[in-house]
Structure formats: C-alpha cells, structure tokens
C-alpha cells in the first residue's frame, strides 16, 4: 500500500507527468503508483486549469425563411444573415459544426 500524499505534492506530480512526454501508464509504472491515482490527479489539475469557461454561450435571434418558388438551376443552400447585415451562404450538407464555428467567429469580429 502506498503512502498517502498531500495535495501540493500531487499537483507537482501531475505537472511532472504533463512535462514528461510519457504515457500515463509509463509514468505511473516508473513512479510505482497506480494508474487510476495518476489519472485522477491529472484530471483534477486540468479541470482546475480550465477554471470558468472563456465565454458564456450567447444565443442569437434566428429567422427561418423559405423561398416561395425555387430558382431555376439553384442548388439547396443554407444562408446565414449576420447582425452586421452580411450574408454567408453554405451548400446543403455542409458540416453543421463548421457553420456554427464560422458564424460564431464572424459574430465576434463584428461586435
């Protein structure tokens, strides 16, 4: 059974692991410690470093509009109208996460 270590020592151990370049399993074996203990302290240290979220989620008003008649030869698309009045058009099937990240980035720049 290993001796119980104090929190400041475990924070240091987690920092040493991060800087080691080893896998968690390799580091734990070299230190004669259980893998689960190392994982727990690395997780806690990372969570502590993150702190509060950088920016809270902002909800923006959305207006969904449908065309009354399709334009001849036009493909399906998604159009986003930014608060600045600019429009961004995406082809149907564009990755939704990509669209969300791009719109969020453009929204931050226009503020």
Q: Which 3 state secondary structure label does DSSP give 89?
A: strand
The pairing of strands 77-81 and 87-91 is antiparallel
Query: Looking at residue 102, what is its pLDDT?
Result: 82
Query: Looking at residue 111, what is its pLDDT?
Result: 46
Are the beta carbons of 45 and 9 closer than 8 angstroms?
no
The burial class, CB within 10 Å (0-12 / 13-18 / 19+), for 27 is buried
Question: For the whole prediction, is pTM greater than 0.85?
Answer: no
Tens-digit pLDDT string for the chain (111 aa): 455 566 778 888 888 988 888 899 999 999 999 999 999 988 888 887 776 555 666 776 766 666 655 555 556 777 777 777 778 888 877 877 888 788 777 776 544
- Bridge partner list, 89: 79
Query: Looking at residue 8, what is its pLDDT?
Result: 79
Structural tokens at position 2: 């290993």
Structural tokens at position 94: 């564009």
Query: Looking at residue 52, what is its pLDDT?
Result: 55
Query: Looking at residue 108, what is its pLDDT?
Result: 66
H-helix or E-strand containing 91? strand 87-91
- Bridge partner list, 91: 77
Query: Looking at residue 83, what is its pLDDT?
Result: 73
The burial class, CB within 10 Å (0-12 / 13-18 / 19+), for 82 is middle
């Amino acid at each position: 059974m290993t001796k119980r270590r104090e929190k400041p020592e475990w924070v240091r151990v987690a920092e040493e692991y991060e800087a080691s370049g080893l896998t968690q399993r390799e580091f734990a074996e070299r230190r004669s410690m259980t893998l689960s203990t190392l994982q727990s302290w690395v997780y806690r240290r990372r969570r502590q470093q993150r702190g509060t979220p950088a920016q809270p989620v902002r909800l923006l008003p959305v207006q969904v509009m449908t065309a009354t008649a399709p334009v001849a030869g036009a493909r399906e698309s998604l159009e986003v109208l930014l608060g600045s009045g600019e429009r961004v058009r995406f082809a149907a099937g564009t990755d939704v996460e990509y669209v969300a990240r791009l719109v969020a980035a453009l929204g931050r720049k226009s503020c």
